[in-house]
Amino acid sequence: MTTHFSDETLQSKLDLLVLGIESSCDETAASVLRYRGEDDVEILSSIIASQDEAHAPFGGVVPEIAARAHMQKIDGIVEQAMDVSGTSYESLSGIAATSGPGLIGGVISGLLAAKGLALALDKPLLAVNHLEGHALSPRLAEPCPFPYLLLLVSGGHTQLLSVNGLGYYTRLGSTVDDAAGEAFDKSAKVMGLGFPGGPNVERWAAKGDPKSVKLPRPFKGRDHADFSFAGLKTAVARAWEASEQTDNAKADISASFQRAVSDVLAERTGKAMAMFKDMHGDNAKRFVVAGGVAANKALRERLTQLATSKGMSFFAPPLKFCTDNAAMIALAGAAKLAAGQTDELGVKARPRWPLDNAAAKANPASGYGKKGPKS
Residues that bind ligand KG4 (CB under 6 A): 25, 154-156, 181, 184-185, 196-199, 202, 291-293, 295-296, 323-324
202 binds, among Zn ion, ligand KG4, none (CB under 5 to 8 A by kind): ligand KG4
Q: What b/e sequence results for 200-237 when a residue is b if at least 16 CB atoms lie within 10 Å of its CB, and e otherwise?
A: bbbebbeebebeebebeebbeeeeebbbbbebbbebbe
Of 92-100, 222-230, 268-276, 324-332: span binding Zn ion (CB under 5 A)? 324-332
Pick from 151, 142, 202: which is nearest to 174 by CA? 151
Q: How far is the CB of 198 from ligand KG4 (least distance, A)?
A: 2
> CA–CA separation, 202 vs 233, rounded Å?
16
Q: How far is the CB of 130 from Zn ion (least distance, A)?
A: 6
Is 324 one of the binding residues for Zn ion (CB under 5 A)? Answer: yes
Contact 204, 225 (CB under 8 A): no
Is 132 one of the binding residues for Zn ion (CB under 5 A)? Answer: no
> CA–CA separation, 284 vs 300, rounded Å?
20
110 binds, among Zn ion, ligand KG4, none (CB under 5 to 8 A by kind): none
Of 13-21, 264-272, 321-329, 355-363: span binding Zn ion (CB under 5 A)? 321-329
> CA–CA separation, 354 vs 356, rounded Å?
5
Q: Which is nearer to ligand KG4, 94 or 100 (CB)?
A: 100
Q: Which is nearer to Zn ion, 70 or 123 (CB)?
A: 70
Q: How far is the CB of 9 from Zn ion (least distance, A)?
A: 37
> CA–CA separation, 231 vs 219, rounded Å?
11
> CA–CA separation, 131 vs 115, rounded Å?
20
Q: How far is the CB of 267 from ligand KG4 (least distance, A)?
A: 18
Is 26 one of the binding residues for Zn ion (CB under 5 A)? Answer: no
- Per-residue CA distances from 126 to 167, 180, 348 (Å): 13, 29, 12
177 binds, among ligand KG4, Zn ion, none (CB under 5 to 8 A by kind): none
Region of residue 332 (left: phi > 0; alpha: psi -120 to 50; beta: else): alpha
- Could you list the residues that contact Zn ion (CB under 5 A)? 154, 324
